[in-house]
Structure 1
Amino acid sequence: MKSYIYFIALLVFGLSTTTIEAQSANDIFRAAGSPHNPKVSVAFNKYYTAEGLATISKKIADAYPELVKRKSIGKSTQGRDIWMLAITDYSVGDADRKPAFYVDGNIHSNEIQGGEICTYTAWYLTESFKDVDYVKQMLKDRIFYIVPTINPDARNNYMKEGNTAHSPRAGLIALDDDSDGLFDEDGYDDLDNDGSITRMRRKNPNGNMIVDPLDPRKMIQIGPDDVVTAQRYENLGGEGIDNDGDGSINEDVPGYYDPNRDWGWKWQPDYIQRGAYKYPFSAPENRAVADFVLTRPNIAGAQSFHNSGGMILRGPGAEEDKETYNRVDARIYDAIGNKGAELLPGYRYMVVYKDLYSVFGGELDWFYGSRGVYTFTNEIFTGFAYYKNKNGDRDQAYKAEKDLLLGDGFTNWKPYNHPTYGEIEIGGFRKNVGRATPGFLLEEEAHRNMVFTFYHAHHMPLLSVDNITEKSIGNGLKEITAIIKNDRLMPTHASQDLKYKIERPDYIFLSGATVLAGMIVDNDDFNITTEQKNNPSKIKVDNIPGNSIIKVRWIVKGGGKVTVTVDSAKGGLISKKQS
């Protein structure tokens, strides 16, 4: 009956029953570097709410069950799931033992690009797996843990409520400081309900601003020697009213809390580090990430996406912590960071405390300082992207908004009757201009930042048993020597890891014969070795350096062809049988 009614409705309203088919592969000419006919179609020229990102991640997981496992690693303050995609080739090896790369984004509410870049990375890995050998090999050897947004509540608040490009700058995690069921109720106010907090100005014969005669969008300040005949204005700041009747406007900002001051490394209280909350990991979002990471000792590299300014950042966050990053690890950071500056035109590789400001309790310092994981934070988007010739200033932003956005990023000045100021005008850049990458540039931004993470992940430890040799030494005894090779830049233990013994040592096993003695070969030419007298079949190695080898030796009795197995938390589990 329902089908009959639906058919009649189609006839009455003249609707077509034609089904829209997916694009035929025969109608597509492949563009290099992009999945050409993906199972999951996603437009990467727009931004998605937390629910939108969750829907996309589910579609990716459903389309590629052989490559993706999706799970919630915890709940946000307001009860939203924090979704994680674990991506690898599950048909090869033990996924939990592969070297792992962790990626997240959007810890700050207005720093939204990370959500799309993380999602693009997951999408690209899955959609390119069958066609791109680099991706196929990467997912054979590594596993990616991707968390598109670790702050879904604040992401939605920024997108759905009236905000500026910079507010709530600190990434308010939906904290209800005064327990009234609301937050952000006493800061700026979206007077015209257009979703963006712009600016207020008022005509004033004694004002110190005039409209730029070359660009009516801009206000310029009157110089001390200027002769002014044009209408003068005064700048009244961002949109807002006196919410609490105390005679001031926009001074009652919401409770300031910065989730990137909440991590448990060199944490400082609010009176020292502005934005700190109660204690390290006092936010459930960060606690969820920490709990996940602490149970994944295979994580060897990590990346967090923020905005803006076009920066590739490494720690230390504070000068007081500068001894944590020694020269050995700094060289590894420099090699990866400098390559990033090449892959990301207009970006600069920088050290937080030297080139920006001090940060205590930051995520990247926790990952390295507490877990020994090489970690970068990328500040996404720079004005260089507009014209590809210089980093932007305010004038360039006006120019690009006109030339490239065709006026889509600015609210033209319009009158408003303010309850305190009377007749004023409201106008200015919308909240999606300035920090957020424009839609037409977003996919390029996502791809370039993704390949930087791939370069970093590529240089996590890649171990192999390079050679196994046998030598008879008489009386039925044999000397078995194995060379363990690390073909990548990063060691199995960062210097910080070795200093504080964060992760267990690596172990090299011999099976298939009775082991009488085991040792590390320090110098083969001079036959200098370090014997391990206890449990000699399982040799303990503190570290397998990057682009280097470790040589081990056993004295054995009997047996046939032996097998050498390397067991490294960050380097994986690999074996080789003597040929």
Structure 2
Amino acid sequence: MKKTILHIALLTSCLCGVGVRQVKAQQTAAQVFRAAGTPQNPKVTVNWTRYYDYDGLTEICAKLAKAYPDLVKLETIGDSYEGRRIWALTISDFTTGDPERKPAMYIDGNIHSNEIQGSEFALYTAWYLVENFQDNKFIQELLQQKTFYILPIINPDARHNFMHQPNTAQASRSGMIPLDDDGDGLVDEDVPDDLNKDGHITFMRRKSSNGRYVVDPQNPLRLIPAKPDQPGEYELLGYEGLDNDSDGLMNEDPPGYYDPSRDWGWNWQPNYIQPGAYKYPFSVPENRSVKDFVLRHPNIAGAQNYHHNGGMALNAQGAEDQNTFTREDNQVYDLLTRNAQQVIPGYTYSVVYKDLNSAFGGELDWFHGARGIFTFSNELMSPFLQLDRKVASGEEREAEQQELNKMLLLTDAFVEWKPFDHPTLGKIEIGGFKKNFPRAHPGFLLEEDAHRNMAFTVYQAYQLPQLVIQEVNTRKLSNGLTEVTATVANNRILPTHSSQDLKHRIERPDYISLRDSTVVSGMVLESAGANRGKEQKLNPARLEIPNVPGMGSVKVRWIVSATKPNLLVEVDSRKGGVVSQRF
């Protein structure tokens, strides 16, 4: 028995020694068995099961740019209201051409203060692409052909405030511009407060014969409505807080109660029609910076905005009176969404005004309506990824959240009820969910959902226009003339111009040029098999093409005054990229 105890003591001592040495050492590539779909030995190591504040995300961005100078460019596109820089990452294979002359995918996150996971999702995409570039042929070809513009945090002040100041999961969605929301001439005087100084702002309740709630017999942490023949035991008093201005209200005057996602210059409405709208379109400085960035990059053909919770892929139809969608555009959205529903279990394809509520002045509406960009706004974390496929609401949804906290988080997301003497309410109890749940993903779901959404945006980028010059044929004519016919195809789902783009002439036409000074005539043929077309008399060497449809083609023809013309053909499209070929 003594020998056994001695052996155990010696083994424990040895293991402890090994453990100390392993903490100090770096694991080598030989010690790692690579899991499919993950980088083997990333240059920038990031734990994607946690959240990072503004400084933390800034550091990750800087490390990526330093580690991959041929794939990543980091720039600031403007400053927030409180002076924080708004970062933009350009991800592309810079050795294969100018990223601004490739079709581009735009991604952003964290427009709302308490919808923080969008930043991690956006930055995970940048990290995944560059860390897998060396070993993944698909990603190599994708970044050779396409560009990603990724803005992880477009509301940096609000992110900083949400993480570092007392807040709740339901904190104001706005930025940090101060507003007097209750009209008493004071700003920010009635905000939720951590009364018991436990590091969390949770709920207040108190026992009352007039209460409408009783303790759930299945879960003592939860209150449920009392039955009609059952006496109530508790009344809910809202979040922890005080009536600082003696107006009889608590928590009603938070910092800056406006909605940055109701500030965009498409179908914008004032606050009395659309609650949350600020002074005028793009009155929020962060949104103006994003708008200016998008206008400087007309190669953006697809976009993705990340929000928080619900498991929905929303398209750009915020209000029912918009006339921005045609059958052709809807077909593109439908094809893209099929992929989302496959790779993100439980996600549903939804239309804002049909499936949620009318929203005027939304970001995704501006992207599609004003810029003609095919845009999705994903509400993240499908209930399917939590406990089951059921999408619940109200009290039923709250019960599911309690079950998730109990069964998968082992009650870590909830602060148990504790007594507290409130200066005006008397003896109360304080407890409830922490601010990191349920709107924010639990850590174990964060990386999985980030990866699935990344895969969806990569698919969108893959389906951006891909133009190829299929063939060029010549035919000798009389009088030293030669007929040159070229066919240009688009091998992807997205057209070079959406119907909204064509309707409002948002972007210039595509150009198909024959680099030969002897061109005397040029025309766009009516169809691939037609032998007639519409002549372009002005500058016939550079033909203007309204659109190259998805999975379609166009045919053009020139007459040149040469028996051996220069057969260098170039296609130049804002959203379809630039390609040239000599025949």
TM, length-normalised to structure 2: 0.92
Residues 188 and 253 of structure 2 are in contact (CA less than 8 Å); yes or no, is this contact kept in structure 1? no
Aligned residue type for 1:221: P
Aligned residue type for 2:79: K
Distance apart, 1:526 and its partner CA = 4.9
In the TM superposition, what whole-angstrom CA distance separates every residue of 1:511-566 from its partner, at most 9, and x where no partner exists? 24511111111146552211111111111111111100100011112244410000
- Does the residue aligned with 2:307 lie in a helix, a strand or coil? strand
Residues 314 and 376 of structure 1 are in contact (CA less than 8 Å); yes or no, is this contact kept in structure 2? yes
Distance 2:42 2:343 in 1: 25
Q: 1:420 aligns with which of 408, 420, 424?
A: 424
- Does the residue aligned with 1:297 lie in a helix, a strand or coil? coil
Aligned to 2:63: 59
Residues 179 and 257 of structure 2 are in contact (CA less than 8 Å); yes or no, is this contact kept in structure 1? no
Aligned to 1:10: none
Aligned residue type for 1:31: A
Aligned residue type for 2:252: E
Aligned to 1:13: none
Aligned to 2:8: none
Distance apart, 1:338 and its partner CA = 2.6
Residues 386 and 404 of structure 2 are in contact (CA less than 8 Å); yes or no, is this contact kept in structure 1? yes
Alpha carbons of structure 1 residues 154 and 201: separation in structure 2 relative to 1, 3 Å = same
- Asked if 1:453 is matched to 2:457, the reply is yes
- Asked if 1:68 is matched to 2:69, the reply is no
Aligned ranges 1:230-269 → 2 under 5 Å: 232-269=233-270
- Does the residue aligned with 1:395 lie in a helix, a strand or coil? helix
Aligned residue type for 2:574: A
Q: 2:514 aligns with which of 510, 514, 528?
A: 510
Distance apart, 1:207 and its partner CA = 2.4
Aligned residue type for 2:38: S
Q: 1:172 aligns with which of 166, 171, 174?
A: 174
Aligned ranges 1:153-302 → 2 under 5 Å: 153-168=157-172, 171-177=173-179, 184-226=188-230, 232-302=233-303
Distance apart, 1:19 and its partner CA = 9.2
Gaps of 5+ in 1: 1-15
- Asked if 1:327 is matched to 2:327, the reply is yes
- Asked if 1:379 is matched to 2:379, the reply is yes
Distance 2:534 2:507 in 1: 22
Aligned length, in residue pairs: 557
Distance 1:194 1:492 in 2: 55
Aligned to 1:121: 125
Residues 190 and 250 of structure 2 are in contact (CA less than 8 Å); yes or no, is this contact kept in structure 1? no
- Asked if 1:147 is matched to 2:151, the reply is yes
Distance 1:478 1:266 in 2: 51
- Asked if 1:494 is matched to 2:495, the reply is no
In the TM superposition, what whole-angstrom CA distance separates every residue of 1:378-434 from its partner, at most 9, and x where no partner exists? 011132212244335222211110111011100000011100111110011111111
Aligned residue type for 1:570: K
Aligned to 1:566: 571
Aligned-residue CA RMSD (Å): 2.0
Aligned to 1:7: none
In the TM superposition, what whole-angstrom CA distance separates every residue of 1:227-286 from its partner, at most 9, and x where no partner exists? x5xx82222222111111223333344442100011111111111110011111111100
Gaps of 5+ in 2: 1-19
Residues 302 and 376 of structure 1 are in contact (CA less than 8 Å); yes or no, is this contact kept in structure 2? yes
Distance 1:28 1:181 in 2: 61
Distance apart, 1:488 and its partner CA = 0.5
Distance 1:182 1:192 in 2: 25
Distance apart, 1:216 and its partner CA = 1.1
- Asked if 1:137 is matched to 2:138, the reply is no
Aligned to 2:364: 364
Aligned residue type for 1:563: L
Aligned ranges 1:398-409 → 2 under 5 Å: 398-409=402-413
Alpha carbons of structure 1 residues 338 and 185: separation in structure 2 relative to 1, 3 Å = farther
- Does the residue aligned with 1:449 lie in a helix, a strand or coil? helix
Distance 1:302 1:543 in 2: 19
Report percent identity of matched pairs: 53
Residues 187 and 240 of structure 1 are in contact (CA less than 8 Å); yes or no, is this contact kept in structure 2? yes
TM, length-normalised to structure 1: 0.93
Alpha carbons of structure 1 residues 236 and 524: separation in structure 2 relative to 1, 3 Å = closer
In the TM superposition, what whole-angstrom CA distance separates every residue of 1:310-359 from its partner, at most 9, and x where no partner exists? 110012100111x2111110111111123212211111110111111111
